[in-house]
Structures are given as structure tokens and as C-alpha cells.
A and B are shown apart, each in its own frame.
Chain A
Amino acid sequence: GESVGLHLPTLSVQEGDNSIINCAYSNSASDYFIWYKQESGKGPQFIIDIRSNMDKRQGQRVTVLLNKTVKHLSLQIAATQPGDSAVYFCAERGTGGFKTIFGAGTRLFVKA
């Protein structure tokens, strides 16, 4: 079945360093990918998305990379700040449907 997973459950970085969070997906038919940030006790917050016809997309301090050959997605956060501490989920939506399927999540700790 469809699944979206993560390589690392936790990631600890020093404030100011760059963070890289990885994700693997298994559904080659997925055409849209999203990264969400979730703080404790809150709903997911959209960070950045990318369509399958792209391999890179940049936002403010964040970059998403998509490698369809190996079905891998990554989120890069530049100059990580304490406010970036949260759980990050990758998610995917396939063609022909509107369901968003979430990966396992990575908790990011930012050390001051």
C-alpha cells in the first residue's frame, strides 16, 4: 500500500546550523508532496510543497528537494532557529485523489 516514511525519528542541531530532514515514499504515482511543521498540541502547519514535475523548490529559509528516481524527499532549513523546533512531516497526494498521506515524522531539536 501507500506509505511515506522517514529515515530519522529525531534530529538535534545547533542554532544557526542548517537542518536536513529526509523522507522516503513508496507510491511512484504520487504527484504532489508537502512538508508540514507541527508544534505540540497543534495542527500541522504548511511549510512548502513541490509537484512531481520539479526537483527543487525554495522558500524563505527552506528548500525541498525531490528525487523521483529513488523516491526521496528532503527538507532543508537554513540557519535553524529555536522556533524551528517541532515535528516535521512529509506528506503526499496521489493522482486521482485528494487524500493527504503523512509520513512518520521527525522531531527537530534546536540547541541554543
Chain B
Amino acid sequence: GAVVSQHPSRVICKSGTSVKIECRSLDFQATTMFWYRQFPKQSLMLMATSNEGSKATYEQGVEKDKFLINHASLTLSTLTVTSAHPEDSSFYICSARRGAYGYTFGSGTRLTVV
């Protein structure tokens, strides 16, 4: 149990376009999901906390207008990278909270902006 599906696993987009990444909890409800970004050979950096039915909470330095987060249901959160540029190329990972200590991570999305 406790599976989180992230889609797509890889995406290549042109500079200036927008890309949507989905994070789904398949067998549990997640009132809170988290989005991380990971550059090569670096750690996971928390971007934002996504709460079902309310606005996301962004970490300091993360542009909320560039990284749009929507958590419209208890099983789905989406991250849209708007007007993507090459410097946005990264590995994006979501995590879904299940209870007080149960957190499950998605398999990640490799975004390449050309």
C-alpha cells in the first residue's frame, strides 16, 4: 500500500512553454503533498507544501507565479512550471503525507527545457 504515482517520468519542452506534473496517491488520501526539486548531485530542496482545498505554501525563494500548484482533490496535486527556461531543468519529486509519520515519495519527473 501507500503508493504515489508521478507522471510524466520524463518530459522535454521548449523554452517558454509550460509543463504540468501530476502526483497521485493511489491507495490513500493525502491532505498534504510536498514538491521538491533536485539538481544533479545535490539534495532535495523543498519547493512548496500543497494542501487540499487551499493555497500552497511556498518556501523562501520559490516563485509562486512560476511554479503553480493545485491540490484540488485528496489524491491529486499538480505542479505546473510556467514559461519554462533551461535553468528550470531539474528532477522534480512529490511526496504525499499519510498520517502523522507516513510519507511516500513519487518516482520523480525529469524535466529538460531546450
List residues of chain A with CB under 8 Å of any chain B CB: 32, 36, 41-46, 49, 89, 98-105
List residues of chain B with CB under 8 Å of any chain A CB: 6, 32, 34, 36, 42-46, 49, 91, 93, 95, 97, 101, 103-108, 110
B45: nearest chain-A partner, CB-CB: A102
Contact A43 B46 (CB under 8 A): no
Contact B108 A43 (CB under 8 A): yes
Q: A49-B101, A98-B32, A99-B34 are in contact. Are A41 and B46 (CB under 8 A)?
A: no
Number of A-B residue pairs at CB separation under 8 A: 43
Contact A43 B6 (CB under 8 A): yes
Contact A43 B105 (CB under 8 A): yes
Contact A44 B105 (CB under 8 A): yes
- Complex Cα gap A7–B63 (Å): 31
Q: Chain B residues near A89 (CB, 8 Å)?
A: 43-44
| Top 6 closest pairs, chain A to chain B, by CB | A43-B105, A102-B44, A102-B43, A43-B108, A43-B107, A44-B105
Partner pick for A104 among B43, B93, B97, B107, CB 8 A cutoff: B43
Q: Chain A residues near B101 (CB, 8 Å)?
A: 32, 49
Contact A103 B105 (CB under 8 A): no
